[in-house]
Structure 1
Amino acid sequence: MKSSELNVATRWHFVNAVEQLVEAALNRIRAAAGEALRTRSAFHLVLAGGTTPRALYARMAGLDTDWRGWHVWFGDERCLPADHPERNSRMAQDAWLAGSAIPAAQIHPIPAELGASGAAHAYANTLHDVGEFDLVLLGLGEDGHTASLFPGHDWGTCPDSPDVLAVTDAPKPPPERVSLSARRLSRARAVLFLVSGAGKCDAVAAWRRGEPIPAAAIHPLAGVDVLAERICVRPNGEDA
């Protein structure tokens, strides 16, 4: 079965290695930034955490772009001290942002050191006047979670859901987190999932079967693109 026949709103793109995934993602970011800067003079990018995004961010400095128009946001954050090595903002800072030419005032980490509730409120205020994101980067957990939207929890899919959720009982440590809601992540011109590793096979299979996992709750008007390592797909007729 072709991927386009599974769900017209979810476009699957398989590559053979992480290096190819990173290169493809970099090309998509380059194109999205170029279009946004030409037409709107600003590029609003939402970053994901994780190992694969880190490899991507390490390549970002090589882009030929007008960094003055970039605005960087984060899809979720762990409630840890601001300089903690497990913070998504710290990872992005170390891999890319510390040496970038993006104006510091246009890099917007989630102040998760305030605690889940305080940080969610503060980040919602920061986002208040921001319209559609130009590009949202997301990952996929082995349980189907994305950002800090976990199975069995509130994903923020209702029309009146807040832009930012305070997560107080995450199944992965630390239990306190802050996450953009599915509704807010879907307010984007483009959404790109980066999926690598054989451990994601179950989640990918569930998604492709149409099961209601958190990742499938992200549905912008333009649809979703998933860049995935081929190893993430089970070697059987359904997913081949």
Structure 2
Amino acid sequence: MATRWHVAEDETDWLAQALAYTLAAEAEALAEHGQFRVCLAGGGTPGRLYRELAATARDWPRWQVWYGDERCLPPGHPERNSALAEQAWLRRVPIPAANVHSIPAELGARAGAEVYARQLAGAARFDLVLLGLGEDGHTASLFPGHDWGTAADAPDTLAVFDAPKPPPERVSLSARRLSEARRVLFLAGGAGKRAAVAAWRGGAAIPAAAIRPAAGVDVLIDQSAYGERA
């Protein structure tokens, strides 16, 4: 499986590449089946793209928005991934509420995972999955030392307990479900991610490397995360 590294020259270039990649995936999906099914990541880095999308005129009723993971916090809590996406983007555009499929993590990890799995059971594979990269190599809420759901029979969703970052309970899509996407784009930046990037490039078995779609993955980072001059 190919891992394609894209090193942006600066923040403006990083944002332009992220937006161009997303809109290319949208155009491909709409031409093929009339809908764009995108799965979102949490965190401040993807949030930069979300704010840019909010200022872009798209055919929003044809977008279907899902989430790769969620923290078990009350609805509307500012630390929820859905709260970030809603504030930066989704509430600012005319996307139908029925097209946004939030994870009911407020039910708790186990119940939230079960409910979201039922929703995903009737959904086609994603056209684009956006993912972040943690300093420890985690992505979504797939952490080192935990089950990543890589087996061929792994469920679509995982109940996560004892996460090394608060809150300890989360709901995450499995590596298997994320790997079924047509396209996967990792978004990362900052010197704090350099060790994770180096480990990934060196072939280490980190959670991010467990996302293995047939078409390969694209990783968009900045120079400080990449380390050596690209």
1:116 aligned to 2:96?
no
Alignment of 1:21-170 (within 5 A): 21-170=14-163
Q: What corresponds to 1:181 in structure 2?
A: 174
Count of residue pairs brought into register by the alignment: 230
Q: Distance in 1 between matches of 2:170 and 2:188?
A: 22
Aligned mate of 2:186, from 193, 216, 222 = 193
Q: What corresponds to 1:9 in structure 2?
A: 2
Q: Distance in 2 between matches of 1:101 and 1:74?
A: 19
Partners of 1:145 and 1:151 within 8 A in 2: yes
SS state at 1:191 partner:
strand
In structure 2, give the amino acid aligned to 1:135.
Answer: L
In structure 1, give the amino acid aligned to 2:96.
Answer: P
Aligned mate of 1:226, from 214, 219, 229 = 219
Q: Distance in 1 between matches of 2:89 and 2:146?
A: 32
State the Cα distance separating 1:153 from its structure 2 match. Answer: 0.4
In structure 2, give the amino acid aligned to 1:148.
Answer: S
Partners of 1:30 and 1:63 within 8 A in 2: no
Unaligned runs of 5+ in 1: 1-7
Q: Tell me the TM-score normalized by structure 2.
A: 0.97
In structure 1, give the amino acid aligned to 2:111.
Answer: G
**Is the deviation greater in 120-129 or in 62-71?**
62-71
**Is the deviation greater in 19-28 or in 153-162?**
19-28
State the Cα distance separating 1:137 from its structure 2 match. Answer: 0.2
Q: Distance in 2 between matches of 1:114 and 1:19?
A: 39
Q: Distance in 2 between matches of 1:173 and 1:128?
A: 29
In structure 2, give the amino acid aligned to 1:122.
Answer: V
Q: Tell me the TM-score normalized by structure 1.
A: 0.93
Partners of 2:150 and 2:175 within 8 A in 1: yes
Partners of 2:108 and 2:169 within 8 A in 1: yes
State the Cα distance separating 1:226 from its structure 2 match. Answer: 0.4
SS state at 1:80 partner:
coil
Q: Distance in 1 between matches of 2:185 and 2:28?
A: 16
CA root-mean-square deviation: 1.1
State the Cα distance separating 1:214 from its structure 2 match. Answer: 0.2
Q: Deviation per CA, 1:122-147, whole angstroms, max 9, x where unpaired?
A: 00001111121000000100000000
Aligned mate of 2:196, from 191, 203, 222 = 203
